[in-house]
């Protein structure tokens, strides 16, 4: 299964990607996570260059991003597929992905847009935190850990962190970039007959079920192409 999850910052791409990995037995690949891992290393000069871009909320250049994805999907764990979260983020990246997959003789199975009401995204992003030990995502209101300050997944205590770029100024820029550079991907995949849309405002379990249904070939994507408009 090779799929792309699309949607603005805070739509729930990472949340859904980690749920779908178990079902499909394929890894989720988040370009944002890959970049944040590099930023953490103070001896990595590229990491420090990337840090400034992440802090500003703009896009890392394609030559870095596309190469990183191409190398990542060559790893053994991707032999049965992958879930892309945060890539592609522009038409030029979508074109590069199409070319790359062709060269590797691989096919995309689907592109799912997680549709959300934009005014709700601020609440989603402002309440987001995660475990620095295992990456599990949480929310102050929508997904609290069972025991305060302890990760449900890896059981470590005191590992919760908030993203530096989840601040008002950077979020505003990330939303602007989404509208100007990422949204044009939607017609790109519609024209290729690949785009399905699910209601990302439903609770997390329902969103997962809707994505699974949208990817089901036998119902032709019954949950897809919902008439509801988001934005």
* Residues acting as catalytic residues: 13, 89, 128, 163, 174
Task: Extract the tokens encoding 7.
Answer: 């949607």
Name the strand (E) or helix (H) holding 29: strand 28-30
x/- map, 90-129, ligand AMP, by CB under 6 A = ---x------------------------------------
The residue written with tokens 């980690």 in the block is 18
Please, which residues have CB within 8 angstroms of residue 196's CB and are 6 or more apart in sequence? 110, 111, 112, 113, 214, 215, 221, 223, 224, 225
Q: Among residues 49, 137, 199, 226, which is the contact residue for ligand ADP, using CB under 6 A?
A: 137
Chain length of the chain: 231
- Choices 66-74, 88-96, 100-108, 134-142; region in contact with ligand ADP by CB under 6 A: 134-142
Nearer Cβ to ligand ADP (74/140): 140
> What is the distance, to the nearest Å, from the Cα of residue 16 to the centroid of all Cα atoms in its chain?
8
Choices 56-64, 68-76, 190-198, 203-211 (CB under 6 A): range interacting with ligand ADP = 203-211
Stretch that binds ligand ADP, among 44-52, 74-82, 151-159, 201-209 (CB under 6 A): 201-209
Whole-angstrom Cα distance, residue 136 to residue 157?
Answer: 13
Of the pair 44, 127, the CB lying nearest ligand ADP is at 127
Bridge partners of 84, per DSSP, are 4, 29
- Element (DSSP H or E) covering residue 168: helix 168-177
Q: Which two tokens stand for residue 218?
A: 């036998």
Asked whether position 119 contacts ligand ADP by CB under 6 A, the answer is no
Return residues touching ligand AMP (CB under 6 A): 9, 30-32, 35, 53-54, 57-60, 65, 86-87, 89, 93, 165, 174
């Amino acid at each position: 299964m090779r799929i792309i999850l699309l949607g603005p910052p805070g739509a729930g791409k990472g949340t859904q990607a980690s749920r779908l990995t178990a079902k499909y037995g394929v890894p989720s690949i988040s370009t944002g996570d890959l970049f944040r891992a590099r930023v953490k290393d103070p001896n990595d000069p590229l990491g420090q260059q990337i840090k400034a871009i992440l802090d500003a909320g703009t896009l890392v250049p394609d030559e870095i991003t596309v190469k990183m994805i191409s190398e990542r999907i060559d790893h053994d764990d991707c032999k049965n597929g992958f879930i892309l979260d945060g890539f592609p983020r522009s038409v030029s990246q979508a074109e590069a992905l199409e070319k790359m997959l062709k060269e590797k003789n691989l096919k995309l199975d689907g592109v799912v847009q997680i549709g959300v009401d934009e005014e709700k995204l601020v609440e989603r992003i402002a309440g987001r935190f995660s475990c620095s030990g295992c990456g599990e995502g949480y929310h102050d209101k929508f997904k609290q850990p069972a025991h305060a300050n302890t990760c449900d997944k890896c059981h470590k205590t005191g590992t919760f962190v908030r993203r530096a770029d989840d601040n008002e100024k950077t979020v505003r820029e990330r939303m602007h970039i989404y509208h100007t550079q990422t949204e044009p991907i939607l017609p790109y995949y519609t024209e290729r007959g690949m785009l399905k849309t699910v209601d990302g405002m439903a609770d997390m379990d329902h969103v997962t079920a809707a994505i699974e249904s949208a990817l089901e070939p036998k119902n032709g994507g019954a949950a897809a192409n919902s008439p509801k408009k988001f934005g």
